[in-house]
Each structure stands twice: as structure tokens, then as C-alpha cells.
Structure 1
Amino acid sequence: MDLRIFTEPQQGATYDTLLTVAKATEDLGFDAFFRSDHYLKMGSVDGLPGPTDAWITLAGLARETRRIRLGTLMTAGTFRLPGVLAIQVAQVDQMSGGRVELGLGAGWFAEEHTAYGIPFPKEKFGRLEEQLEIVTGLWATEPGRTFDFQGTYYQLEGSPALPKPAQAKIPVLVGGHGAVRTPRLAARYADEFNMPFASVADSERQFGRVRAAAEEAGREGDGLVYSNALVVCVGKDDQEVARRAAAIGREVDELKLNGLAGSPAEVVDKIGRYAEIGCRRVYLQVLDLGDLDHLELISSQVQAQLP
């Protein structure tokens, strides 16, 4: 089971804060550092000093880390044209020496688009499908050849399909709760399917849909990596769990129901239940980025007990 650290910088974080967490992620033996891709805070937090851009952040971290994988859950398809995104991600992959992964989603948070003058089209899923085809197609085009695409939303003619990533293939993540279109999209384009903030039972149902869609598309159902994203709140005792829950404005009982919360033993047990349904990777949503002791506890008392 891989454990990855997943941050939400729009809630309030500087680049220096994210760098500190990324370095702790690396030093403590976690597999990867991921971040969300949002430009506006959510909820009652002040969000200061303001948003940071996902791919600019990852470019910086690519040069200041050595081992950990770097990526997004999820890059919003509404924020970037697919040709530009393919260039950006390939460049960051080169800067990291081949450690980048791309999670790409349709975009959903209307208010951040309004706040920063970003178009928020009605038909986002069809655009996402074309974006995935274009980004992966550009990377897969052989050097010296060109890439063309004629779609409903995007048209490319004679693209040199450059630059190329450092990796032979950048892993692509698709995720979500949709019962029909999402599994089909994952089956066609994804190396990993991520189920965000879902119960074991709901995850099992969705993983099953994705496996079936993959097999229908001629792939092995278990050829994808299946993962979950869950908020994490671990403490050595009940008092520490309660303190950490209060720091992120959540209730302990709710966190235990909907996330990974409690003692290290409780969290290891719950991760095990996700593993039983085929989850191979968990993105730990860390909401208090100043609490590095939390990461150390998870590393020494949770990660160390996982196979």
C-alpha cells in the first residue's frame, strides 16, 4: 500500500509552506506529494495569503526534491488549453527527472471561475474527454511526426508534439463518482483510477464499474491502479485526535466515519478494509500543513505497519 500526501493549498498556504511539507513527505518515506488545483478557498477559512498555481508549484518542487512523485488531484480541465497543458506537464516532468503524474478532471467549482474571469463552459465532460485524448496523443507522437486532432471543442493541425516528457509515459489519473461516463473515460485513458472521499462500499462499487469498463475496452480490469483520497487525522491518544480535528474544524466522529481518523491502529485497520477491495494507494488529505508532527506520526506508526 502506497501512502501519498495530498494538500489543499487554496485553503491557505505559501510556496514555502508547501516546500516544507514536500520535503517532509520525502524525508519521512512517503511515496508522493500531490496538491489540488484551485484558485479560491472553500468554507470559512481566510485562505491567506491567496492561491498558488498547481503547476508552477510543482515545477519549483521538481527542482527541490529528489525522490517523491509529484502530481495533481485533479488539474481542472477548465483552467488550461490541452496543448498548453501537455507542454507544461512535460516540462515539469523533465525538471523532476521523470517523477510527474497528471490527474485531470473536468473542473467543477463555478465560483473560482467567476472570481478570476475563467470561462466555465456548460459541457465540461465532453471537453475533458477531448483534453485527455489530446494530451496523451501529443506525448505519444513519435519524434519527427506531427499530431492532428479535429474535435468538437479543440482542433490541432500540424503540432510538432513537443516537448516530450522525461518518462516514457506519464501516468494519467482519472477519478470520480460517475457511474457510466467516468468509468468509460478511465478505461480508455487512465493508468490510475481515484475514488475521492468515499466509503469502502461505494469505492468497491465504483472500482467494479471501472474494471468492467476496462475489460469491455480490451484492457485487463486490474491493469489500472485503484486508489482512494481520504482526509487524515491521527493521534497517539483521544486527546490528540480531538485536538487535530478541532484544528481543521471537523468533528472526530464524522472524521472516523468519512475519513481516516483515530489512533494509528484504527487507521491501519481502516486502510486494510480499503486494501481488501483492491485499493493499492491512499492519498492522505492533510489539512493542517503546519503540523509536521502529524506526518511523522503517520510515517512511524501507520505507514510502518502497512505491507
Structure 2
Amino acid sequence: MDLRIFTEPQQGASYDTLLAVAKATEELGYDAFFRSDHYLKMGDVDGLPGPTDAWITLAGLARETSRIRLGTLMTAGTFRLPGVLAIQVAQVDAMSGGRVELGLGAGWFEAEHTAYGIPFPKEKFPRLEEQLAVITGLWGTPEGETFSYDGTYYQLADSPALPKPAQRRVPVLIGGMGKERTPRLAARYADEFNIPFGSAEDSGAQFERVRRAAEEAGRKPDDLVYSNALVACVGRDDAEVARRAAAIGRDVDELKRNGLAGSPAEVVDRIGSFAEVGSSRIYLQILDLSDLDHLELIAAQVKPQLPE
């Protein structure tokens, strides 16, 4: 079971804070550092000092880390043109020596678009389909050849399809609970399928839909990685769990139902329920980015108890 650190910087984090978390992620043996892609805070927080851009952040971290994977859950398809995003991700991949992964979603938070003057189209999912076709098409075009695409929303003509990522293939993550279009899209483009904040039961059902879609598309279902993102709130005792829950404005009982909360032993058991339905990777949503002891505790007392 891979454990990855997943942050929500729009809730309030500077680049220096994210750098400290990323360095701790690397030093403590976690597999990867991921971040959300949002420009507006959510809920009753001040959000200071303000938003940081996902791919600018990852570019900086690419030069200041050496081992961990770096990526997004999920880059908002509404924020960037696909050709520009393909260039950005390829460049950050080169800057990292081939450690980047691209989670791409349709975008959903209309308020942040309004706040920063970003168009919020109605037809988000069809646009996402074309974005994936353009990005993977640009990366997959052999050097010396050109790429063209004539879609409903995007048109490219004789693109040199440069630069190329350092990796032969940048892993693409797709996620969500849509029962029909989402599994088909994952079967066509995804290297990993992620379910954010879902139960083990719902995850198992959705994983099975993706596996069926992969077979129908002529892929082996096991060619995809299946993963979950869950908020983490782990403590050595009940008092520490309660303190960490209070720090992020959440209720302990609710976190135990919907996330990974409690003692290390409780969290290991909870992760096991996701492993049973096919998940092999957990993104630990860390909401209090000043609490590096939290990461140390999970690395020392949860990670060693999980199957390789």
C-alpha cells in the first residue's frame, strides 16, 4: 500500500509551508507529494496568505526534492488550455527528472472562477475529454512529427508537439463517482483511477465499473492503479486525535466514519477495508500543514504495518 501526502493549499499556505511539508514527505519515506488546484478558500478559514498556483508550486518543488513523485489531485480543466498545460507539465517533469503525475478533472468550483475572472463553461465534461485527447496526443507524437486536432472545443494545427516529458509516459490520473462516462474516460486515458472521500463500499463498486470499462476498451483492468483520497487525523491517544480534529474544524466521530481517524491501529484497520476492495494507494489529505509531527507519527506507526 502506497501512502502519499495530499495538501489543500487554498485553505492557507505559502510556498515555504508547502516546501516544508514536501521535504518532510521525502525524508519520512512517503511515496509522493500532491496538491489540489484551487484559487479560492473553502469553508470558515482565512485562506491567508492567499492561493498558490499548483504547477508553479510543483516546479519549485521539482528542484528542491529528489525522490518523491509530484502531482495534482486534480488540475482543473477549466483553468488552462490543454496545449499550454501539456507544455507546463512536460517542463516540470523535466525539472524533476521524471517524477511528475497529472491528475486532471473537469473543474467544479464556480465561485473561484468568478473571483478570478476565469470562464466557467457549462459543457465541462466534453471539454475534459478533448483536453485529455490533446494532452496525451501532444506527448505521444514522435519527435520530428506534428500533431493536429479538430475538436468541438479545441483545434490544433501542425503543432510541433514539444517539449516532451522526461518520462516515456507521464501517469494520468482520473477520478470521480460518475457511473458511465467517468469509467469510460478512465479506461481510455488513465493510468490511475482515484476516488476522493468515498466509502470502501462505494469505492469497490466504482472500481468494478472502471475494471469493466477497461476490459471493454481492450485493456487489462490491472494495468490501472486504483486509489483513494481520505482526510487523515491520527493520534497516539484520544486526546491527540481530538486536538488534531479541532485544529481542522472537524468532529472526531465524523472523521472516523468518513476518513482515516483514530489511533494508528484503528487507521491501519480502516486502510485495510479499502485494500480489500482493490485500492493500492492512499492519498492522506493533510489539512493542518503546520503539524509535521502528524506526518512523523503516520510514517512511524501506520506505514510499517501496511502490506508492501
Tell me the TM-score range normalised by the shorter chain.
Answer: over 0.9
- Structure 2: which 5+ residue stretches go unaligned? none
What is the distance in 2 between the residues matched to 1:198 and 1:276? 14
Residue of structure 1 in register with 2:287 after alignment? 287
Deviations 1:245-266 (A, max 9, x none): 0000000000000000000000
What is the distance in 1 between the residues matched to 2:101 and 2:2? 15
Cα distance, 1:304 vs. partner?
Answer: 1.1
Residue of structure 2 in register with 1:185 after alignment? 185
Question: Where does 1:1-307 land on structure 2 (aligned, <5 Å)?
Answer: 1-307=1-307
Q: Match of 2:134, as an amino acid? A: I
Corresponding residue SS for 2:43: coil
What is the distance in 1 between the residues matched to 2:76 and 2:56? 14
Cα distance, 1:222 vs. partner?
Answer: 1.6
What is the distance in 2 between the residues matched to 1:281 and 1:65? 21
Deviations 1:42-66 (A, max 9, x none): 0000000000000000000000000
What is the distance in 1 between the residues matched to 2:149 and 2:274? 39
Q: Which aligned segments of 4 or more residues in structure 1 are displaced greater than 2 angstroms? A: none
Cα distance, 1:223 vs. partner?
Answer: 1.3
Percent same amino acid at aligned positions?
Answer: 81
Q: Match of 1:81, as an amino acid? A: L
What is the distance in 2 between the residues matched to 1:133 and 1:207? 23
Q: Match of 2:30, as an amino acid? A: F
Corresponding residue SS for 1:178: coil
Q: Match of 1:46, as an amino acid? A: D
What is the distance in 1 between the residues matched to 2:273 and 2:113? 38
What is the distance in 1 between the residues matched to 2:238 and 2:44? 26
What is the distance in 1 between the residues matched to 2:88 and 2:36? 16
Q: Match of 2:214, as an amino acid? A: A
What is the distance in 2 between the residues matched to 1:84 and 1:49? 27
What is the distance in 2 between the residues matched to 1:180 and 1:111? 27
Length, aligned pairs only? 307
Corresponding residue SS for 2:302: helix
Deviations 1:13-38 (A, max 9, x none): 00000000000000000000000000
Corresponding residue SS for 1:132: helix
Deviations 1:188-221 (A, max 9, x none): 0000000000000000000000000000000011
- Structure 1: which 5+ residue stretches go unaligned? none
Corresponding residue SS for 2:231: strand
What is the distance in 2 between the residues matched to 1:217 and 1:244? 44
Corresponding residue SS for 1:266: helix
Q: Match of 2:192, as an amino acid? A: E
Q: TM-score, normalised by structure 1?
A: 1.00
